[in-house]
Amino acid sequence: MKNLLSFCVLSLSLCIQAQVVPDEFGNVKPEYLSMKNYPGDDQAEAVVLYDFGKTYFIDTDYGFRILFERTTKIKILTKAGIKYANVEIPYYVEKDEMERILSIDGYTFNFESGSLMRTKLDSKTIFEEKLNDHVILKKFALPDVKEGSVIEYKYKVESPYFVNLHDWEFQSSIPTIYSEYTVAMIPFYEYSYIFQGAKKFDVFKNTQTSMKRNFGGIEYADNVFTFGMKNVPAFRDEAFITSVNDYIMKIDFQLAVLHHLNGANVEYITTWPLLNEKLLKLPEFGLYIKNSAKNAGIILASLGISSLPPLEKADMIFRYVKSNYNWDGYYSKFAGKSSKDFLKTKTGNTADINLFLCAMLNEAGLDAYPVILSTRSNGKIPVDFPFQQFLNYVIVMTETGGKRYLLDATESLAQFGMLPVRCINNKGLIVDKERTEWVQLIDEAVSFETDSVRIAFNPEMDSASVSTTVISSGHRALDLRRSFITDPEKFRNDMMSGEMRMKMPLKTINLTEIEKPFTYDYMTSVLLESVSDKLLVNPFPGLVPTENPLKISFRNYPVDMIYSKTYNFISVIEVPKGYKFAEGIKDVNIDNALVTIRYSSQNTADNITIEGSYTFKKAVYFPHEYFELKKLYTTIVETFNNKIILQKTQ
Amino acid sequence: MFKFKAAGLIISLSLITLMCIAADCEVVKYKTVVEANNNKVVRTDTVVIRINKRMGEKYADISLNYTKDNPITELTAWITDKNGSVIRILKNKEIIESNAYSHAFYSDYLVKRFTLKHNDYPYTITYTYQETAKQYLFVADWYPVIGPDVPTLAASLTFIRPENFKVILIQKNLRNPEILSSSTILTERWQATYDGSIREEVLSESPRDHLPGLTIIPANFNYGIPGSNSSWLSFGEWLSKLISGLDELPESEKSLISKEIINLKDKTEIIKALYHYLQDHTRYVNVNIGIGGMKPYPASYVSQNKFGDCKALSNYMIALLNFAGIRSHYVCINSEDNPRKFYPDIPFQQFNHVIIAVPLDGDTIWLENTANCIPFGYFSHIQNRPALLVDGSNSRLVNIPAVNPEKLINCRHFNFNINENGGSSVTSRFVFRGSEFEDLSYMIMNSTPAEQNDQVHNFLPFSAFILNDWQIIKRGRDMDNLTLTASLFINKLTYPVGNQSYFAFQPADIPQFEQPAYRKLPVNISKPIITNDTLNYNLPAGRKFAEVPTGKIIENKYGKYCVNFQINGSSLIITREFRLNPMKISLVEYPDFFNFITAIKNHEKLKILFQ
């Protein structure tokens, strides 16, 4: 749902219900104290009784400032809910401008021995913690909180930042009985908003204040919008989802137009073409690319690649940037430092690195454009509405030989044209003044892992040597390379299951030659398992999942596997003298829209060969496919953990 | 929790030869100079890190912890390329200052962070800074190690002090110092290296005890108020003074407590009632500011806010007992599961936690005041270790006794009803004591139902199953055990073999010890590990057992494994006891110990055949 908040009449059909009125601050209704559980959710450890937010503009000596006030009242139902009495309020600071917390107040209410006990938050127990140069946390723990308490706090923040009006989440990890956000608009700033998580508001009101204000000789009234939601369920995180941001019920605001007193209007972002135009003029985006040109040219000259075909040239440039500049771990669509500083420090955020890559590609005569996107953790982009705050990352697209390649030089282990998982999130916007075009952020690389195993028994028949070779490509190779590089010891340990012992150390092939499949091999020894006169052999020790990760019985949100992947297995078991293959193994052959599972065996007098594979065909599975997917996963676990039986012949 | 001075870490020169492959990153030099006099201690560190490969670059992100009272000054840093040329000098604006990460709700620990990276390997990062402390409990707690996998090629600590500045030295894996001067100003220098091989291992001694390090303790100090490390008595007296006068309760609180205990005559009952009052009305919130690392918030603060850390809550509990006319004592301990070596003969701040001791009829009740979920008088988690009882001129080192092994036995009962398809429904009943009891007690009190479900799922010793139902029963808040019952279904328990089927019996809960070739640290089993299991397997109708392993007893100084198999028609009852004795096992003995574990595991692999 997208909307514009201005003085226009809203044309939306909105459900209008009665608002909830809060208690006077410092007071509590007896029913809140006597409340033992929340009928809407018997699992809730606490419930937000109400949460009121209000944003309005004040006229100060320094011009307008935004004030944000919040009052929250929570019932603590169980001891697990006491954590909601430890509160953190983040605020933003810069060198010249900053947000300020003007006041914090709080109470805890208990009903003990027949009387109401009210304990005030002691201002001496409010602390300030600096997270980094821009974010400070105010922290406080409300006093005397126990099972059954009602807590209440309010605070007020003054902000000079008009671009991002305070957003509002109607939903949290506990249920909310009533959540309401009021914004009082003035004619000088016009905002767009987007609402997600529900089809309509339970409460909506639009009024004008009766008291007129005056600014620069213009008389105006505040245009007040109230948005309310009732009985909002708890948002409980589930595994395999992209981002809470994609699902939680919230309203986001973005400055659209600034109306000056002289009648001039400054359009902030109202269309994607305008966003593109603006980005290209910004020193931390378009001008950064321009300003990098000279240095990019000097580097290119030293690389001596001018005579290479375009694709090879692009590949060489991509490799150069990846291997020479370090990502500092920060996502941004804007460069964090000057191009000069970036080249000196060899370190930068995603924009520093990728915009420089773009400059190098351009200087080399290649078509290259920045592509702005929203990472998976940041949530989906509402493509039909230009909220620039939803875009938090920039990559590069280069076009050569009629083909497009998406590049992210922050991921040193990614091949040319492969995006890291964090970027695979629907689509990104090509930043080009000539066009407004979206590009799909998909993974074209084939992701597979092939495990080849050879099992030979030692002459004493008390153990077997297992030689394993793992070959991987695409994202699977990227994941494995990264795990190995991050912690080789953990990587080795994770391969060992049960009573496996390492016999020969792990050897990697093509660890850094990323255009080739990542391969590693190792040899382990496993103790033999037997029953009666039969040997039991696990054909894929330590290689196949032993447990179904899909545990819950019902799924609310899509299962996001990020990319489609295939696992292939082959195991050759050398049949020892005096033994023979005892059992026919049941072949498995499942191929449907969700997965493919294959498993078969062949045997000769000397060897038994087990071959199998499974493929998750989709990157994202819908909630209605969950039950079937879970069942198929169980089949995979059971099939590939089957033991091969060898029978003594004498 | 107490505040520990941030410490770095270490090995012997002979191990250096093992480093035949260049590490991704190595500390070329770690030079520390500590200059102390009666007014202050100034420590100057110069660290040279060589980044050999891109994989070592995580160590190019450098963090230096400090506090407002112990500021860091004169921080400079630069990069030198492989030719030895300085190519970049750190600018002040590149240093990020913030609060340091802490487990506390709020702590005033600060951190300076910066990153120095280059794109041509190898390159070296050099940084140097000074830290000044006017109030301190340690002159130095020095470990010249930046990461467990990073070798330190050459480290030194030079200690300069006036002759009359008395200290106690604890050398760890270090040779004796060179004496550089011994006139009115003493100068000594220690040297160290580290090969980058020490890691935490299964039931190992604390890795830190195996690193090179030097702890310098002042004989006398002024931390808040003057004190002395000359004896446990003097150190205890200093703490007594630090906490004195903090036990005043508001009148409103006194009247509430009076109501709690008015009808109680028995002293133990009064102590218990007040302990329950504490558990029911307070919560653990750690706020750590300045000397607050050692000095508790007063009882009146806890009374008002109903929260505090271990010191504040213990001090408050003492105040509650005091009001009831019961004397108790503040007791400092190290509460870690695997604490660093304790030096009973060297009095100094070796603790990170506070509990209280209540003397009663010649015995002592130990009270842990930070957990709302543990029973009255329960102390298994801190058992069998020294502690400092703070009692003015009667302060002394005491021993928290070892828990009776009976109090640590975990019992597991499984009943498997196998179906014709190889699946099995399972009902299981666990009686937990010791650390599992503590974990589950905490869980049921402080986790949401969804979290509890996940945790129980992870807790159950099966890999592929459907959890149908579970329940935790704790019979009274002061019981030291609880029962978890769970019913579940295993899709695949038995497998066909010819016209018969087999299954593996549920294995004993045995830690996964490292192979002897890879083990680096001695074993330290601080308390007995005992599990008694009963496994009941019921075959589908008409089936009978074809082959069942024989019973086995393996017993030696390390522990005991005893398993029995008894067939009763179509049922098989397996009883099993597994015990590891509390002991230390050296690396020399380790292969023998590992053989004991392997012998048990070999028996556990045997299968049961039925037809």
Considering only A244-248, A356-360, B81-85, which range has the smallest mean pLDDT? A244-248
For A55, phi then psi, to 5°, come to -120, 135
Look up residue A39 and give its amino acid: P
Share of residues in chain B with pLDDT > 70 (%): 96
Residue carrying the six token digits 């821009």: A134
As beta bridge partners, residue A573 has A455, A608
Q: Which residues of B415-454 are buried (b: 16+ CB within 10 A; e: fewer)?
A: bbbbeeebbbbbbbbbbbbbebbbebbebbbbbbebebbe
Instruction: Report the C-alpha gap between B70 and B64 in whole angstroms.
Output: 12
Q: Which residue of B has its CA nearest to A638?
A: B492
Q: What is the pLDDT confidence band of residue A3, given thresholds at 50, 70 and 90?
A: low
Mutate to test the interface with B, among A352, A353, A493, A531 (most CBs of B within 10 A): A531
Please say whether the beta carbons of B109 and B99 come within 8 A.
Answer: yes
Q: What is the pLDDT confidence band of residue A292, given thresholds at 50, 70 and 90?
A: very high
CA distance B550 to chain A (A): 13
Calculate the alpha carbon distances from A556 to A236, A622, A623, B450 in Å.
10, 9, 6, 15
The model's pLDDT over B30-51, given as tens digits with 9 standing for 90+, comes to 999 999 987 899 999 999 999 9
The model's pLDDT over B205-242, given as tens digits with 9 standing for 90+, comes to 999 999 999 999 999 999 989 999 999 999 999 999 99
Q: What is the pLDDT confidence band of residue B287, given thresholds at 50, 70 and 90?
A: confident
Chain A contact present for B88, CB below 8 A: yes
| pLDDT above 80: residue B385 | yes
Residue carrying the six token digits 């989906």: A380
Most trustworthy range by pLDDT among A103-107, A524-528, B254-258? A103-107
What is the pLDDT, as a whole number, of residue B122?
A: 94
How does DSSP classify residue A93?
B
Q: What is the pLDDT confidence band of residue B16, given thresholds at 50, 70 and 90?
A: very low
Chain B contact present for A145, CB below 8 A: yes
Please say whether the beta carbons of B219 and B137 come within 8 A.
Answer: no
Tell which wins on pLDDT, B257 or B101. B257
For A179, phi then psi, to 5°, come to -135, 130
Q: By three-state DSSP, how is residue B462 classified? A: coil
Please say whether the beta carbons of A542 and A497 come within 8 A.
Answer: yes
Taking the CA atoms of chain B, what radius of gyration do you get in angstroms? 29
Of B97, B457, B546, which has the smallest distance from its Cβ to A551's Cβ? B457
The mean per-residue pLDDT over the stretch A438-452 comes to 85
Give residues 347 to 376 of B whose Cβ lies within 8 Å of A.
372
B172 sits in which H/E element:
strand B167-172
What is the pLDDT, as a whole number, of residue A271?
A: 81
Question: Please, what is the end-to-end C-alpha distance for chain B in angstroms?
Answer: 60
| pLDDT above 90: residue B59 | yes
What is the pLDDT, as a whole number, of residue A18?
A: 61
What is the pLDDT, as a whole number, of residue A145?
A: 95
What is the pLDDT, as a whole number, of residue A561?
A: 82
The mean per-residue pLDDT over the stretch B243-266 comes to 92
Q: By three-state DSSP, how is residue A643 classified? A: coil
Instruction: Report the C-alpha gap between B384 and B365 in whole angstroms.
Output: 15
Please say whether the beta carbons of B353 and B400 come within 8 A.
Answer: no
Q: What is the pLDDT confidence band of residue A270, given thresholds at 50, 70 and 90?
A: low
The mean per-residue pLDDT over the stretch B578-597 comes to 96
What is the pLDDT, as a whole number, of residue A458?
A: 85
The model's pLDDT over A314-361, given as tens digits with 9 standing for 90+, comes to 999 999 999 899 898 899 999 999 999 999 888 899 999 999 999 999
Strand arrangement, sheet containing A86-92: A86-92, A135-141, A126-130
Phi-psi group of A401: left, alpha or beta (phi > 0 → left; psi -120 to 50 → alpha; rest → beta)? left
Question: Please, what is the end-to-end C-alpha distance for chain A in angstroms?
Answer: 76
Instruction: Report the C-alpha gap between A321 and A350 in whole angstroms.
Output: 12
Share of residues in chain B with pLDDT > 90 (%): 72
- Residues from chain A that touch B305, judged by Cβ atoms under 8 A, are 119, 122, 125, 141, 143-144
- ipTM score assigned to the predicted complex: 0.84
Q: What is the pLDDT confidence band of residue A79, given thresholds at 50, 70 and 90?
A: very high
Of B54, B445, B497, which has the smallest distance from its Cβ to A79's Cβ? B445
Instruction: Report the C-alpha gap between B234 and B393 in whole angstroms.
Output: 8
The model's pLDDT over B180-192, given as tens digits with 9 standing for 90+, comes to 988 899 999 999 9
Instruction: Report the C-alpha gap between A45 and A74 in whole angstroms.
Output: 11
Residue B283 to residue A634, Cβ atoms within 8 A: no
The string of DSSP letters for A195-259 reads: EESSSS-SEEEEEE-SS-EEETTEEE--EEEEEEEEEEPP----SS-S-GGGTS-EEEEEEEEEE
| pLDDT above 70: residue B542 | yes
The model's pLDDT over B430-477, given as tens digits with 9 standing for 90+, comes to 999 998 999 999 999 889 888 898 889 888 988 778 899 999 999 999
- Residues from chain A that touch B546, judged by Cβ atoms under 8 A, are 532
Q: In chain B, what is the greatest distance between 2 CA atoms, to the nearest angstrom?
A: 93
The model's pLDDT over A510-549, given as tens digits with 9 standing for 90+, comes to 988 888 999 999 998 888 888 878 888 889 988 998 888 8
Residue carrying the six token digits 């271990």: B310
The model's pLDDT over B398-433, given as tens digits with 9 standing for 90+, comes to 999 999 999 999 999 999 999 998 899 999 999 999
As beta bridge partners, residue A633 has none
Nearest to B9 by CA among B130, B139, B172: B172
The string of DSSP letters for B238-291 reads: HHHHHHTT--PPPHHHHHHHHHHHTT--SHHHHHHHHHHHHHHH-EE--EE-GG
pTM metric for this prediction? 0.85
Please say whether the beta carbons of A241 and A247 come within 8 A.
Answer: yes
Cβ neighbours for A39, distance < 8 A, ≥ 6 positions apart: none
Please say whether the beta carbons of B7 and B30 come within 8 A.
Answer: no
Chain A contact present for B101, CB below 8 A: no
Instruction: Kindly state the tokens that stand for A169.
Output: 């989440």
Chain B contact present for A236, CB below 8 A: yes
Give residues 512 to 551 of A whose Cβ lies within 8 Å of B.
527, 529-532, 534, 536, 546-548, 551
The mean per-residue pLDDT over the stretch A596-611 comes to 92
| pLDDT above 70: residue B352 | yes
What is the pLDDT, as a whole number, of residue A613?
A: 95
How does DSSP classify residue B514?
P
Instruction: Report the C-alpha gap between A307 and A312 in whole angstroms.
Output: 10
Instruction: Kindly state the tokens that stand for B78.
Output: 């630069």
Give residues 535 to 554 of B whose Cβ lies within 8 Å of A.
546-547
The mean per-residue pLDDT over the stretch A79-93 comes to 93
Mutate to test the interface with B, among A77, A132, A347 (most CBs of B within 10 A): A347
CA distance B168 to chain A (A): 36
What is the pLDDT, as a whole number, of residue B291?
A: 66
Other CB atoms within 10 A of residue B27 CB: 25
The model's pLDDT over B298-331, given as tens digits with 9 standing for 90+, comes to 999 999 999 999 999 999 999 999 999 999 999 9
| pLDDT above 70: residue A190 | yes
Burial of residue A46, with CB atoms counted within 10 A of its CB: 0-12 exposed, 13-18 middle, 19 or more buried: buried
What is the pLDDT, as a whole number, of residue A444?
A: 66
Instruction: Kindly state the tokens that stand for A351.
Output: 């924009």
| pLDDT above 80: residue B566 | yes
What is the pLDDT, as a whole number, of residue A445?
A: 67
Q: What is the pLDDT confidence band of residue A366, given thresholds at 50, 70 and 90?
A: very high
Other CB atoms within 10 A of residue B371 CB: 18
Mutate to test the interface with A, among B90, B105, B594 (most CBs of A within 10 A): B105
Residue A485 to residue B55, Cβ atoms within 8 A: yes
Look up residue A182 and give its amino acid: T
| Arithmetic mean of pLDDT over chain A | 88
The mean per-residue pLDDT over the stretch A134-142 comes to 93
Instruction: Report the C-alpha gap between B510 and A438 in whole angstroms.
Output: 56
What is the pLDDT, as a whole number, of residue B6?
A: 31
Please say whether the beta carbons of B3 and B294 come within 8 A.
Answer: yes
What is the pLDDT, as a whole number, of residue A563?
A: 81
Q: What is the pLDDT confidence band of residue A242, given thresholds at 50, 70 and 90?
A: low
| Arithmetic mean of pLDDT over chain B | 90
Of B259, B372, B464, which has the smallest distance from its Cβ to A546's Cβ? B464
What is the pLDDT, as a whole number, of residue A269?
A: 67
What is the pLDDT, as a whole number, of residue A619?
A: 83
Residue B447 to residue A80, Cβ atoms within 8 A: yes
As beta bridge partners, residue B487 has B427, B469
Q: What is the pLDDT confidence band of residue B108, given thresholds at 50, 70 and 90?
A: confident
Please say whether the beta carbons of B451 and B461 come within 8 A.
Answer: no
